[in-house]
Amino acid sequence: MAIEEPSYSVVIREAPFEVREVHAYVVAQTFVEGTFESAGNEGFRRLFSYISGANRSSSKVTMTAPVEQEGASARIAMTAPVEQQATGSTWRIAFVLPAGYTLQDAPQPTDGKVQLAQVPARRVAVVRYSGTWGKSRYDEQLASLRAFLEAHHLAAAGEPVFDRYDPPFMPWFLRRNEIQIPLQAAAAPGGH
């Protein structure tokens, strides 16, 4: 599937792990109370509604790139991944918007529970895996990513983010999933 993703460069690759320099991007996000699975489902529905036209310009989503514009209604290309992150007892669910959008020109949501946000450029450690979107699989992979950080003397600078790259109809064994953890900036050589 030709779906746009945020751009990044790889600093370290030791499959299934990577350390990446991720460029800044814009997301549509919502915050949902609930379990890992229920929050992801509810947040996905809210955000899918936004990219399906529940915004002030009534922009519609095309499920493939490129971004198209016709008449007075722009189309927003579907991008990957869908992000999910715990913030206390609440989950942040986010859709990455196509690279051409800024906070100023992205379609403004009509649902007060959906907001736009700029995700700054950052360094992250990532584990990539296939399979189900369940909490037990997530916990298992998160433990392996934390072991990778420890083995490489990398310090986390934030909470883990769960990335789903495929639509729900993708067979579970073909799904691309990732967990990323933001990293603290490396100390300058000779610094204290």
Residue 60, pLDDT score: 64
Res. 154: pLDDT tops 80: yes
Is residue 69 a contact partner of residue 13, using CB atoms and an 8 Å limit? no
What one-character-per-residue DSSP string does the chain give? Answer: ---B---EEEEEEETTEEEEEEPPEEEEEEEEES-HHHHHHHHHHHHHHHHTT-BTT--EEESSSS--EETTEEEEE-BSPEEEEEETTEEEEEEEPPTT--TTTSPPBSSTT-EEEEEPPEEEEEEEE-S---HHHHHHHHHHHHHHHHHTT--B-S--EEEE-S-TTS-GGG--EEEEEEBPPPPPTT--
Greatest CA separation for the chain: 58
The structural architecture, per CATH, of the domain 8-182 is Alpha-Beta Barrel (3.20)
Residue 71, pLDDT score: 25
User: pLDDT (tens digit, 9 = 90+) per residue, 82-94?
Assistant: 777 776 678 888 8
User: pLDDT (tens digit, 9 = 90+) per residue, 18-76?
Assistant: 999 999 988 888 888 888 778 778 888 898 889 888 888 887 643 322 222 112 234 45
Residue 186, pLDDT score: 66
Better-scored residue on pLDDT, 192 or 164 = 164
Better-scored residue on pLDDT, 12 or 28 = 12
Does the global pTM surpass 0.75?
A: yes
- pLDDT, average across residues 136-156: 96
User: pLDDT (tens digit, 9 = 90+) per residue, 105-115?
Assistant: 889 999 999 99
Res. 116: pLDDT tops 90: yes
**In angstroms, rounded to a whole number, what is the distance separating the alpha carbons of residues 107 and 137?**
35
Residue 68, pLDDT score: 21
Band the pLDDT of 9: cuts 50, 70, 90.
Answer: very high
Res. 125: pLDDT tops 90: yes
Residue 17, pLDDT score: 98
Residue 2, pLDDT score: 54
CB atoms within 10 A of CB 27: 23
Q: What is the mean pLDDT of the chain?
A: 81
